[in-house]
Amino acid sequence: MAYQKPKGTQDILPPESDKWQALEAKARELCRRFNYREIRTPIFEHTELFRRGVGETTDIVEKEMYTFLDKGGRSISLRPEGTAGVVRAYLENKLYGEPDVSKLYYLGPMFRYEQPQAGRYRQLHQFGVEAFGSEDPGLDAEVISLGYSFYAELGIRNVRVEINSVGTPASREAYRDTLREFLKPIKDTLCRDCQSRYDRNPLRVLDCKIDQHRFEGAPSILDSLDEESRKHFAKVQKHLAAMNIPFSINPRLVRGLDYYTHTAFEYKAAGIGAIDTIGGGGRYNGLVEQIGGKAQPGVGLGIGLERTLLILEAQEVELPQAGPLDVYLIALGEAAEDKVAQLLQQLRQEGLRADRDYLGRGLKAQMKAADRLGARYTAILGEDELARGEISLKTMATGEQKNVPLDRLAGWIPSEASKEEEEHSDDAQDPSLR
């Protein structure tokens, strides 16, 4: 072939796309119950938004963004994560004027130029939520519980929640000084990225995968928290305990983005090689102001859908697949073709999943096609049936065949399905229901 998909991307084909739809349906249904409403933002933004919002010293901004000049000479970047764009939309559209907390969710692709591996793509997909307007620690716990519920209701086992507090900007600055003192004797032996981060953002050193073993005995950020941060963190834990959300405290968890304050959290699960983080988030009370608005507290999460699917596969959890075809229509003869086209439209308007042959195949080949598609019924219309105003309806599971009036076909199929369900139901004890 002359063309292939770009490195780090994937074609999502049937029946795999059915799994994606199941994930997205679960996310939407869960957000409805938690009272989060959908927001859709552009997949590209002005580059400066991500520099200010995500952070100059993050791997995302330093190494991973797809950035280009548009025809007007403006620097544009494909979105590497969802929060910055949602905050921009929150400000630009004055959602802060609403009387209640703004609770939003998004689903869509993100783009990061990094080395592809299991669960890591250059075009990835995220489900995320963002809530603005409240500093209540209960909102932190709600967001954490929403993500945990997403995994649990999909049937994923052994998901771990790790939480930490990165404090206020003031307490974090105090911790930076303490951490620099710890790192100073080993600074020159650390990897190049860690040496660069030592002055600009030493907390990011703790994220390093190369030198992780060098940080045994590093001071804990929890020891540098001010009273406000301690109280906030304690209340988050209290709420999570009340919700029966299992969690552990990881004092090295700082997340890879600069905008977090107070609560930071991650979801962990084994099964994707060396990667065990499948989602995470935190509170970002300073981000709205950093992007140019009046100070507004916020908290959110992001969940990688590719990683979620890999965990589901590793744990052999089956997601709902598309249901079988309700009816496959077969036309025998030119006169029947027009009537079948009309019937097909009627059946679909009645909500039935219906199809027909478009390859000019014979009856036997069409019956095989109906079987491959898992059709519950085939409806065969020939010239004789058409003259009588009837169509031959065959139940594929039993082979039973009967003639039904053409004008009643759309209503007959769901009633037959209901009849079958009643006959196989343990609750259908009353013969009059059959």
Residue 105 phi/psi, 5° resolution? -140, 160
The pLDDT assigned to 116 comes to 86
- The per-residue pLDDT for range 112-122, each reduced to its tens digit, is 998 888 878 99
Query: What confidence category does residue 153 fall into, taking pLDDT thresholds of 50, 70 and 90?
Result: very high
Q: Give 228's Cβ-side CA count (13 Å radius).
A: 11
The pLDDT assigned to 412 comes to 86
Mean pLDDT of 154-158: 95
Give the 3-state secondary structure of residue 257. coil
Helix (H) or strand (E) segment spanning residue 414: helix 409-423
Whole-angstrom distance, CA of residue 81 vs CA of residue 281: 11
Q: Is 333 exposed, middle or buried (0-12, 13-18, 19+ CB in 10 A)?
A: exposed
Residues 6+ apart with CB under 8 A from 60: 50, 54, 80, 81, 112, 256, 257
The pLDDT assigned to 156 comes to 95
Range from 91-100, 107-116, 220-229, 410-419 carrying the lowest mean pLDDT: 410-419
- The per-residue pLDDT for range 229-255, each reduced to its tens digit, is 999 999 999 999 999 999 999 988 876
How is residue 422 written in tokens? 């009643």
The pLDDT assigned to 275 comes to 75
Give the 3-state secondary structure of residue 142. helix
The pLDDT assigned to 431 comes to 38
Whole-angstrom distance, CA of residue 278 vs CA of residue 128: 12
